[in-house]
Amino acid sequence: MSKLVSLAKRRGFVFQASEIYGGIGSSWDYGPLGVELKRNVKDAWWRAMVHERDDIVGLDSAIIQHPKVWEASGHIENFTDPLVDCLKCKGRFRADKLDDARCLEKPSKKPGECGGELTAPRRFNLMFKTFLGPVEEGAATAYLRPETAQGIFTNFVNVQQAARKKPPFGIAQIGKSFRNEITPGNFIFRTREFEQMEMEFFVPPAQWEQWYGEWRKLRQQWYVDLGMDPAKLRLRDHAKDELAHYSNGCTDVEYLFPFGWSELEGIASRTDFDLKRHSQFSGKDLQYFDEQTKEHYVPYVIEPAAGCDRATLAFLVDAYTEELVEGEVRVVMKLHPRLAPLKVAILPLVKKDGMPERARALEKSLRQRFTTFYDEAGAIGRRYRRMDEVGTPFCVTIDGQTAADGTVTVRHRDSMQQERVAEKALESHLSAAMAAWSRGAR
């Protein structure tokens, strides 16, 4: 992890937020390459969940909702973690995660082992509070959403009617969520501000088990299709005492991070809990009327809920590779080309003989189709290595032969193999090579 964190900073994937002021606990900023990578993760999710299906539509709901939303959802009452204080070092820890925590004064010890007395656990609500308008009083209290899901439930009827959808159908949303985590950590794995990619799939009650099974399979496969090592992915069913207050079944897709197997996303069966509660609290009818059977019913919900930052971290961890090449360590990010922040680097072999001009012109035309990067500084080998480190799948070199026969060298990141390709055919050649990329071949 420490190698990855330092590469992420050095190459502009992720920076510590407010670094010039000493940073702020577990807040991170995405740099020029990180923002591209994260966008690609979100685009891949949106494509798989919305654009490639005819039974899911999108939504972008507000972060600040009516406070009643969180009463109805159960978050005000139940969205808590057990908190203990150490009376000696004044540290605050999650009572159920003491094994993973460290004493603030003696980091070699766990809280409680250092001689400090721990208070009895008390329930700490993870929602961030704020105030609407200029008066800071109870009546103006609002919350930053701790999950994007509730904006989907409150819009169930709006979307169903506007999009003329009939269960089974889903509503997908990507957006920021906020949780005042007691112990954030592991880089961008657990933070207080993060992005979620959530989809609520509304089904006739009798079909919930079938769809729960279907979404478990589909969501694990999504990571594999984007190049993640299947041996480092697994599904883990929640035990009864782990289930959230709204759920009668939940499976996590877990990834083997350097710090152990950890949750990437949860696929939860939320029953009809949320729609019924919103119906009860708002007084609005949130049933679906089936024209064919003439039946009114409250749909059941299957929810695949993924973390965008966590997925981004997992893709980075999974792609990070060190190889020994000619006695030197080559660091290469073997990212799937769809996720790679830069797709093609254009490199003139030397800074003379018209090569930079030709390379610039080529870059300009490829820019219409791919995210490109132009680099003429330093030896070609070093330029290749810089691109390997940020996961650029293809480097295109303009050399002496280009002027003579109109061909360029295409160098493949994973195999380091080079081939000559006609400049005119380059765009379609690169598209085909990206489409043909597979993990096995790397």
Q: Is 190 or 343 the residue whose CB approaches ligand GAP more closely?
A: 190
Q: Is 305 or 362 the residue whose CB approaches ligand GAP more closely?
A: 305
- The yes or no reply on residue 388 touching ligand GAP (CB under 6 A) is no
Least separation in angstroms between residue 146's CB and ligand GAP is 7
Q: Which structure tokens are listed for 370?
A: 């791919």
Least separation in angstroms between residue 262's CB and ligand GAP is 9
Cβ-based neighbour number of residue 393 at 10 Å: 28
- The yes or no reply on residue 310 touching ligand GAP (CB under 6 A) is yes
Sign of the dihedral defined by the CA atoms of residues 291, 297, 302, 308, in that order: positive
- The yes or no reply on residue 363 touching ligand GAP (CB under 6 A) is no
- The yes or no reply on residue 307 touching ligand GAP (CB under 6 A) is yes
Whole-number Å distance between alpha carbons of 377 and 102: 46
The stretch near ligand GAP (CB under 6 A) out of 54-62, 271-279, 304-312, 314-322 is 304-312
Task: Tell me: cis bond preceding 304? Omega within 30 of 0 counts.
Answer: no
Q: Which structure tokens are listed for 237?
A: 């069913």
- The yes or no reply on residue 194 touching ligand GAP (CB under 6 A) is yes
Q: Is 194 or 373 the residue whose CB approaches ligand GAP more closely?
A: 194
- The yes or no reply on residue 306 touching ligand GAP (CB under 6 A) is yes
Whole-number Å distance between alpha carbons of 120 and 364: 64
- The yes or no reply on residue 26 touching ligand GAP (CB under 6 A) is no
Closest residue to ligand GAP in the complex (CB)? 307
The stretch near ligand GAP (CB under 6 A) out of 28-36, 90-98, 189-197, 338-346 is 189-197
For residue 170, report the phi and psi dihedrals to the nearest 5 degrees.
-130, 160
Q: Is 81 or 388 the residue whose CB approaches ligand GAP more closely?
A: 81
Q: Which of 125, 183, 196, 392 binds ligand GAP (CB under 6 A)?
A: 196
Q: Which of 142, 149, 226, 362 binds ligand GAP (CB under 6 A)?
A: 149
Q: Is 147 or 388 the residue whose CB approaches ligand GAP more closely?
A: 147
* Distance (Å) of CA 154 to CA 160, 208, 284, 399: 11, 20, 10, 60
Site for ligand GAP in 198-227 (CB under 6 A): 198
- The yes or no reply on residue 75 touching ligand GAP (CB under 6 A) is no
Least separation in angstroms between residue 150's CB and ligand GAP is 8
Site for ligand GAP in 235-274 (CB under 6 A): 263-266
The stretch near ligand GAP (CB under 6 A) out of 50-58, 186-194, 326-334, 406-414 is 186-194
Least separation in angstroms between residue 133's CB and ligand GAP is 28
Instruction: List CB contacts of 305: < 8 A, sequence separation 6 or more.
Output: 147, 149, 196, 197, 198, 199, 265, 266, 267, 268
Q: Which of 81, 181, 318, 388 binds ligand GAP (CB under 6 A)?
A: 181
Q: Is 318 or 423 the residue whose CB approaches ligand GAP more closely?
A: 318
Q: Is 270 or 336 the residue whose CB approaches ligand GAP more closely?
A: 270
What pairing do the DSSP bridges indicate for beta strands 372-374 and 407-412? Answer: unpaired
- The yes or no reply on residue 145 touching ligand GAP (CB under 6 A) is no
- Give the interface size with ligand GAP as a residue count (CB under 6 A): 19
Q: Is the separation of the CB atoms in 275 and 156 below 8 Å?
A: yes
The stretch near ligand GAP (CB under 6 A) out of 61-69, 187-195, 229-237, 330-338 is 187-195
Binding site for ligand GAP (CB under 6 A): 147, 149, 179, 181, 190-191, 194, 196, 198, 263-266, 303, 305-307, 309-310
